[in-house]
Amino acid sequence: MKKLMRMATPIVETVKLRKTYMLGKVPVEALQGVNLKVQRGDFLAILGPSGSGKSTLLNMIGALDKPTSGKVFIEGVDASTLSDNALADLRQEIGFVFQFFNLIPRLTARGNVELTMTIPGLGRDRRRKRAEELLETVGLSDRMNHKPAELSGGERQRVAIARALANNPKFLLMDEPTGNIDSKTAKEIVELVKKLNRDKGVTIIVVTHDQQIALQTRRTVQMIDGLIVEEKVN
Amino acid sequence: MKISDIFSFAFGAIRLRKLRAGLTTLGVVIGIAAIVALLSITQGLQTTISDQLQSGFATDTLIVSTQRGFGMSPGAIVAAESDFELLVNYTQIIDEIEDVDMSVAVIRKLGYIKSGEREFMLAIVGVDFAKYADVYSRTFVAEDGDISLSPENETVVVGKRVSDPWENGTAFTNVDNIVEITWTNASTLPPKNETYSGQVAAVLKEIGGFGFGGPSDTNIYIPITRAQSFFGTDECDTIIVQLENDDSATIESVSEAIEEAFGGQVNVISSTAVLDTVSTIFSTVELFLTGIAAISLLVAGIGIMNIMIVSLMERTREIGILKALGMKNRTVLSIFLSEAVIVGLMGAAVGVASGWVLANVVARVFTGGGFMSAGNQAAINAGMTITPVLTPTVILGAFAFGLLISVIFALYPAWRASRLRPVDALRYE
Ligand SMILES: Nc1ncnc2c1ncn2[C@@H]1O[C@H](COP(=O)(O)OP(=O)(O)OP(=O)(O)O)[C@@H](O)[C@H]1O
Ligand SMILES: [Mg+2]
């Protein structure tokens, strides 16, 4: 019974989620009441024109920002009630892949992946071993000691994915992961992400303009003007 | 996050900006070096001076002078010129006072001593040899020759540095030598040189120090009666009073009695009072100098703050990333404070070392030789050696202060960094 209930609890759920930015005195309604449920093991694409609020939504789900109103539940816990510290702990359990990689320039590929694991306080040997495994998984075993500036866009994005996976996150959030790389490399990244979902059961929410990615996912939602207007199961 | 990881991350950030971190550290280095150098020199100087005062100064003596004389007491400053003269035979009055063992009058004038071709400027001191040797039984002692207790008129006793001014055994004058003693009487018009020939009867053993009040390595001594006739005066500069004991009650009562006996026209100084005054002066000087040095550290602190605020803006995105990865506010704070701690510690370490080197260089420069030569004439001066003193307290204090300043000034930038909201930080271009 208990197990069933847990199964039923969505890993991510947003309820009437609103976000209003104030540009001076002009309010910008980035989200206007988004209701979304994501189950464990899902692979969801969020589509929509530029400015429709996709990144804003992803930031709310990733506990990087707080909603103006409405709620975000992560495994049934209301994130808006959490303290700064608890939010930080929560973020440790969420893998975030950014459009612009956001790697730390002075650290090597391995250093960037390891850094994620120093935050929960993993020991040196264990995090080094895991970083090497992860970089191997994303196909970068021969680029471990390269700094971001010495890597191609596709390689950087793979480092970012390896980093996002380092702490065994509950789910992976990706904001236009292929937005800054060529279509061939993008294809490889898509394959990698798909494999993660299929083989390792990682829950993935990806924001994209890219139809190629959207077609590979299990489910897509379409956003316009801060609202989800269409849901489709592939 | 583990402390070691926090420090290694902070260290990595510092290493990335070596030049900037170096310049920030330099600010701390200069401040700490200044403090350490000043403190170790003043402490060294203080040790030297009080050692020398103690060796040249018996604790059971008082020095009586006119208010025009050497004034170490506050009263000396206010006193107007008075006609009062301290005469040699006033020792008889002082000797009558209870608890006074005896007293000895000292006449001191600047003059010249000539032996062979060379001539030195120095202090010519007239004293009663027997009494003086009694009061300063440790220092008015002959190394060569004898100090006659009832000397001939022409007898001269010279200090060690007068006999051996170059400190290498080449004697300027020695026992049995005839020396020419000259004094310029400026009270006549035109000033007139008085000269007589004396015979060196003894060379004092080395005293070291200034011989403050007591005998000195750089003086020559002639019998008091000879001094009176030579200088044409019965006035003396000081009267040294030997007490029965060195109880503070005795010192006080005798001091008062002497002042009273001369109607308040004399200064009475005890050696302990001089020592106290000197150490008070030193504490003040030390405090003052340290204060100045501390201001330079304050400036360094503002430099740290400035640089940290700049680097905070540069690293906004990095902070956003760290927070997105789940780093807590307090960990971000610790990273920035660790950077300040590293800068502070390095600055303090280098600062203490260079301050110590600086102190030694300065001490070397200021520790002049025993003797300054100017042509054929030369003035003998007491060779004063300053040995800088670096106490553990100073080292610890320097580290603590360097660290404190760095951390205090880093507090605000670090706090601001820790409060950045992850989305805002990530959006920062
Ligand atoms: N910090 C902010 N301050 C003010 N307005 C903002 C802010 N962030 C986003 N917006 C506005 O909110 C709306 C949604 O922005 P969002 O970044 O979520 O769009 P998006 O769907 O991710 O677009 P894109 O596909 O171009 O990335 C936009 O109109 C944007 O101008
Ligand atoms: Mg976006």
Contacts of A142 (CB under 8 A, 6+ apart): none
Query: Touching check for A89 and chain B: CB below 8 Å?
Result: yes
Same domain for B423 and B281, yes or no, is yes
What is the ipTM, given to two decimal places? Answer: 0.92
State the best of B6, B7, B325 to mutate against chain A, taking most chain A CBs within 10 Å. B325
- B166, B168, B170, B171: CA torsion to nearest 10: 70
State whether the beta carbon of A54 lies less than 6 angstroms from ligand 1: yes
Distances from the Cα of B236 to the Cα of A59, B100, B133, B227, B267, angstroms: 95, 19, 18, 10, 14
Contacts of B260 (CB under 8 A, 6+ apart): none
The C-alpha atoms of residue B306 and residue B314 are separated, in whole angstroms, by 13
Integer Rg of chain B from CA: 32
Query: Touching check for B325 and chain A: CB below 8 Å?
Result: yes
Distance from CA of A210 to the nearest CA of B (A): 22
Residue B140 lies in a domain: yes
Residue B252 lies in a domain: yes
Same domain for B42 and B97, yes or no, is no
The C-alpha atoms of residue B45 and residue A217 are separated, in whole angstroms, by 82
Same domain for B248 and B317, yes or no, is no
Which atom number of ligand 1 is nearest to the Cα of residue A53?
A: 18
Question: How many beta-carbon contacts under 8 Å exist across A and B?
Answer: 68
Q: Check residue B369 and give its pLDDT.
A: 41
**8 Å CB contact between B210 and B196:** no
Please say which residue of B203, B232, B261 terminates a domain. Answer: B261
Same domain for B187 and B224, yes or no, is yes
Residue B59 lies in a domain: no
Q: Residue A151: what residue type?
A: L
**8 Å CB contact between B202 and B210:** no
Q: How far apart are the first and last CA of chain A?
A: 30
According to DSSP, the β-strands at B192-204 and A12-23 are: unpaired
Chain B residues lying within 8 Å of A92, measured CB to CB: 325-326
Which atom number of ligand 1 is nearest to the Cα of residue A22?
A: 4
Contacts of B334 (CB under 8 A, 6+ apart): B1, B3, B6
Q: Residue B68: what residue type?
A: R
Most informative mutation of B424, B427, B428, B429 for ligand 1 (most atoms within 8 A of CB): B427
Same domain for B329 and B405, yes or no, is yes
Same domain for B40 and B92, yes or no, is no
How much is the pTM?
A: 0.72
Same domain for B111 and B221, yes or no, is yes
Most informative mutation of A19, A34, A55, A64 for ligand 1 (most atoms within 8 A of CB): A55
- Number of structural domains in chain B: 2
pLDDT tens, residue order, chain A (234 aa): 444 555 578 999 999 999 999 988 999 999 999 999 999 999 999 999 999 999 999 999 999 999 999 999 999 999 988 999 999 999 999 999 998 889 999 999 999 999 999 999 999 999 999 999 999 988 899 999 999 999 998 899 999 999 999 999 989 999 998 887 788 888 888 888 898 899 888 999 999 988 878 888 999 999 999 999 988 888
Residue B214 lies in a domain: yes
Residue A193: other Cβ atoms inside 10 A: 24
DSSP string, A26-49: EEEEEEEEEEEEE-TT-EEEEE--
Sequence spans of domains, chain A:
40-64+83-233
The C-alpha atoms of residue B129 and residue B215 are separated, in whole angstroms, by 11
Chain A residues lying within 8 Å of B328, measured CB to CB: 84-85, 88-89
Distance from CA of A64 to the nearest CA of B (A): 6
Paired tokens of A179:
């937005």
Phi, then psi, of B57 in degrees rounded to 5: -140, 120
For residue B105, give the H/E element and its range: strand B100-115
Nearest ligand to residue A224 Cα = 1
Residue B74 lies in a domain: no
State whether the beta carbon of A27 lies less than 6 angstroms from ligand 1: no
pLDDT beneath 50: ranges in chain B? 69-80, 369-383
Residue B197 lies in a domain: yes
Q: Check residue B57 and give its pLDDT.
A: 62
Q: Check residue B144 and give its pLDDT.
A: 87
**8 Å CB contact between B204 and B160:** yes
User: Can you give the residue range of the structural domain that contains B172?
Assistant: 85-261
The C-alpha atoms of residue B429 and residue B422 are separated, in whole angstroms, by 13
State the best of A72, A115, A167, A171 to mutate against chain B, taking most chain B CBs within 10 Å. A115
Length of chain B: 429
Same domain for B251 and B296, yes or no, is no
Same domain for B146 and B169, yes or no, is yes
DSSP string, A102-167: ---TTS-HHHHHHHHHHTTT--HHHHHHHHHHHHHHTT-TT-TT--GGGS-HHHHHHHHHHHHHTT
Which residue reads 């024109």 in tokens?
A49
Same domain for B28 and B160, yes or no, is no
Q: Check residue B77 and give its pLDDT.
A: 45
Please say which residue of B234, B261, B288 terminates a domain. Answer: B261
At the top level of CATH, the class of A40-64+83-233 is alpha beta
Please say which residue of B227, B261, B295 terminates a domain. Answer: B261
State the best of A22, A55, A58, A65 to mutate against chain B, taking most chain B CBs within 10 Å. A65
Same domain for B104 and B247, yes or no, is yes
Q: Check residue B74 and give its pLDDT.
A: 44
Q: Check residue B73 and give its pLDDT.
A: 43
The C-alpha atoms of residue A162 and residue A76 are separated, in whole angstroms, by 27
Residue B133 lies in a domain: yes
